[in-house]
Chains A and B, each alone.
Chain A
Amino acid sequence: MEAVTDLTLREIGLATSKVLGRSVDVANDTHIGRDLAVDSLALMNIIMELEDAFDISIPLDRLASVETAGDLASLIKDLRNRA
């Protein structure tokens, strides 16, 4: 399970780097807004990248509880399990 989460975090890092146009390191407890300076628009664009990376739909209303990269990884895991 740890390996799966790591892989998801890696994809989150890649998507974030792509949207922000700069390389970022992402860990479980990385705060998306504070540590990565991701605003609401950038976050929605990161979500679009992740939807394509995992071939899933990530409804925007599910982001309300997402603060850290770990939260986002859990959400993705949850949505993938349901698919």
Chain B
Amino acid sequence: MGLFDKHLAYRDAYNAIRQAGADPFSVRFDAVVSPTEGVINGKRTILLGTNNYLGLTFDEQAIASSVKAVQERGTGTTGSRIANGSFEAHVELEEALAKFYKRKHAMVFTTGYQANLGVLSTLVGRGDHLILDADSHASIYDGARLGHAEVIRFRHNDPEDLYKRLRRMKDVPGERLIVVEGIYSMIGDTAPLKEIAAVKRELGGYLLVDEAHSMGVLGEHGRGLAELAGVEEDVDFVVGTFSKSLGAIGGFCVSDMDDFDVMRVTCRPYMFTASLPPAVVSSTVTALRRLEEQPELRHKLMANARRLYDGLSGMGYVTGPTSSPIVAITMPDTERAIGMWNALLQNGVYLNLALPPATPDSRPLLRTSVSAAHTAEQIDQVLAVFAELGAAMGLIEAPLQRVSA
């Protein structure tokens, strides 16, 4: 017996996937030349799976502020904020986030994963109840495990099921924290937030929305699903990330609740991690400003998403319930999902392969994420590749109508 014996089934499954072609979980880019284009094995490849929703990774102003910060403040903070203190940019970023969300408080974490780990494990404790949507991201489940609250799941995007489960515990003491996501990362569906907020109002509790994939994407000002659904007042905590629409890395939580800042000395994933380096904080401050200044990025993103979603659905691919910047194609089985993923890569299209149990309904997915920086020509090129390969592999019916530009 050895330490890794319990993982051997995964090793064998992983090896089988790798033998089918390239390694989908370890793609190596020779170069990334723009938000939408990279070079893999010497071949120019359209990036359609990088969550780079607004295309801000190459924003000139964000790069300039990042360069300035690294030259003036150095490469890293070399410690946590409670031990080593904050740089002015950390405070500036928190103030900018609070202002953007119109909230009193903001707290920045070193990754989005840690934001969920920290917030969920600190807000609720022993004797409290954490009520999670069943399709929650791994960081939410892990945050739930790190704390000591009792964890109950409700059926994905089902406010009535949430109601039933909250009713069931109505006489049980302890606080309740309901956790949902703005856009779910696997198939791009959004939470029925208005209805969920109504359940919260009726049965009590707090509501946290993870807007990781919806910040800068949904809502007139880009504040996410809570803004779009018009229920920001019912949302007690918004968690999000800088690693998607803001093109960097890091996480945050904003709230209007008094005493929020006590988390700075009680939240272990905040306290015991080195803080974000100056270059990252500065590019994020600039990217947030760019997000606010340029609503047209959001409009372009949505138009691109619609173009891809309609194109794929029109060919007969099984896509998610609504057009969103995450367009997922359900594949009939793992073997064909892996085959199609490899064929797409060989034809210059990079996207994500998602396999059960990381997917809803135990079906393999080809997951794409669209960017405002994609051109219509790039989207059409992707559709043409999907049409050709899908017909060749029997995934869709041939012949296909030519996709017009």
Residues of A within 8 A of B (CB): 39-42, 44-45, 47-48, 51-52, 55-61
CB-contact partner of A57 in B144, B155, B168, B356, under 8 A? B168
Closest to A44 in B: B153
| A41, A47, A58 interface centre (most CB from chain B within 10 Å) | A41
Q: Which residues of A contact B151 (CB under 8 A)?
A: 59-61
CB distance from B146 to the nearest CB of A (A): 11
Q: Which residues, 361 to 385 on B, are CB-close (under 8 Å) to A?
A: 362
Q: How far is the CA of A45 from the CA of B134 in the complex (A)?
A: 8
CB-based closest 7 A-B pairs: A59-B150, A60-B151, A41-B357, A57-B169, A57-B168, A57-B152, A39-B357
A57 and B153 contact, CB distance less than 8 A: no
Q: Does B300 contact A (CB under 8 A)?
A: no
Interface of chain B: mostly helix, strand, loop or mixed? mixed
Q: How far is the CA of A47 from the CA of B153 in the complex (A)?
A: 9
A44 and B152 contact, CB distance less than 8 A: no
CB distance from A43 to the nearest CB of B (A): 11
CB distance from B171 to the nearest CB of A (A): 9
CB distance from A79 to the nearest CB of B (A): 11
Q: Mark B164-184 against chain A: 1 for CB-CB distance below 8 A, else 0.
A: 110011001000000000000
CB distance from A1 to the nearest CB of B (A): 25
Q: Which residues of A contact B152 (CB under 8 A)?
A: 51, 57-60
What are some 21 contacts across the A-B interface (CB < 8 A)? A40-B357, A41-B362, A42-B357, A44-B134, A47-B153, A48-B153, A48-B155, A51-B152, A51-B165, A52-B164, A55-B168, A57-B152, A58-B152, A59-B129, A59-B151, A59-B152, A60-B144, A60-B150, A60-B152, A61-B150, A61-B151
| B129, B152, B154, B164 interface centre (most CB from chain A within 10 Å) | B152
Q: Which residues of A contact B148 (CB under 8 A)?
A: 61
CB distance from B321 to the nearest CB of A (A): 20
Closest to B359 in A: A41
A44-B134, A51-B165, A51-B168 known; A57-B150 Cβ under 8 A: yes
Q: How far is the CA of A40 from the CA of B148 in the complex (A)?
A: 19
Q: Mark B155-199 against chain A: 1 for CB-CB distance below 8 A, else 0.
A: 100000000110011001000000000000000000000000000
CB distance from B36 to the nearest CB of A (A): 33
Closest to A52 in B: B164
Q: Which residues of A contact B150 (CB under 8 A)?
A: 57, 59-61
CB distance from A82 to the nearest CB of B (A): 10
Q: How far is the CA of A45 from the CA of B153 in the complex (A)?
A: 9
Q: How far is the CA of A52 from the CA of B362 in the complex (A)?
A: 22
CB distance from B46 to the nearest CB of A (A): 32
